[in-house]
Every structure is written in structure tokens, then in C-alpha cells.
């Protein structure tokens, strides 16, 4: 099973016309079409948390009701996991390397024995996922782009 973090889920709604904030990273948006195509084929194999869906919801706010509805449909199509207590020891270990939200995403993926692949567009999250034995998949980017 795959686990998608917020950086991946945001691409379900963010495109070239997104009103980025000054200084906000626009890089991953170039891969939004690849992400959406991949997700369309694999949605039944992807797990997320409400925290990850929240990142997509936040990204959808300035885009209107269609984008917000896209996130609602994602929540219905994907497997939504609760954040288990077992996620927090991993999150605590990596919390000094990545933002706390990213640390919890990684903790959830590591704690679930059914998850073997981490979907992310964050370089450090990808590196940490490999360190914890997860495969990393980033539709639109080459294998090992994070190395």
C-alpha cells in the first residue's frame, strides 16, 4: 500500500494558475498532471490521514468550490487512516530534520505494516522514508531524485 503526504495531495488541486504566496515553492506544481494521472489509476491503493487531506483542503480554498469538491472526493476514494500512537516515536526522531507535520506523515507510514511506499514531493521526507526502509515514489520525477 502507498501512503501520500500533504505535498503529494496538494497537487490534486494546485496547478499553474495557483496563487502562490511570495517565497512559496512552485517546483512541484510542474508534476501535478503526472500526480493526478498516477492517482487516478492507484487511488484504491493509497492511504492518507485527515492531516494530509487538510493540506489539500487548504490549497483548495483560493481555487473555489470545484477544487474543494475534488478534495472531498479524494477523502471518499482514498483510505483515510487515523494517526496511531506508534507514529509519534518516529515523528519525534525526525522532527528536528523536517517540519512536524512531515514528521508525523512519515511516522504514520512507518507505523503501518501494510504501507511499503511513501508518496512525497519533499526531498528530506523522501530521504528519511528510505532511511526507514520505505520505497519512495514521486510521479513525474525520476527514481532517486531525492538522493
For 59-115, the pLDDT digits (tens) are 999 888 999 999 999 999 999 999 999 999 999 999 999 999 999 999 999 999 999
- Summarize the confidence of residues 36-62 as an average pLDDT: 96
Asked whether the predicted pLDDT for residue 21 surpasses 70, the reply is no
- Select from 142, 104, 144 the least CA-distant residue to 127: 144
Look at the chain and count its residues. Answer: 147
Residue ranges of the alpha helices (H) in 3-147? 6-10, 32-42, 50-60, 65-77, 87-94, 100-111, 123-131
pLDDT at site 65: 93
**This prediction's pTM:** 0.94
> How far is residue 72 from each of residues 30, 33, 130, measured CA to CA in Å?
23, 19, 30
Amino acid at each position: 500500500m502507498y501512503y501520500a503526504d500533504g505535498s503529494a495531495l496538494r497537487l490534486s488541486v494546485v496547478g499553474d494558475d495557483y496563487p502562490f504566496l511570495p517565497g512559496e515553492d512552485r517546483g512541484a506544481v510542474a508534476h501535478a498532471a503526472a500526480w493526478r494521472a498516477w492517482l487516478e489509476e492507484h487511488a484504491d491503493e493509497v492511504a492518507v490521514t485527515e492531516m494530509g487531506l487538510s493540506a489539500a483542503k487548504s490549497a483548495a480554498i483560493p481555487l473555489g468550490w470545484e477544487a474543494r469538491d475534488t478534495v472531498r472526493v479524494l477523502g471518499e476514494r482514498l483510505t483515510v487512516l487515523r494517526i496511531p500512537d506508534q507514529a509519534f516515536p518516529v515523528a519525534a526522531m525526525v522532527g528536528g530534520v523536517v517540519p512536524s507535520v512531515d514528521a508525523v506523515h512519515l511516522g504514520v507510514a512507518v507505523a503501518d505494516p501494510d504501507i511499503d511506499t511513501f508518496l512525497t514531493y519533499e526531498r528530506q521526507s523522501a530521504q528519511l522514508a528510505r532511511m526507514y526502509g520505505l520505497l519512495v515514489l514521486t510521479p513525474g520525477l525520476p527514481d532517486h531524485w531525492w538522493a
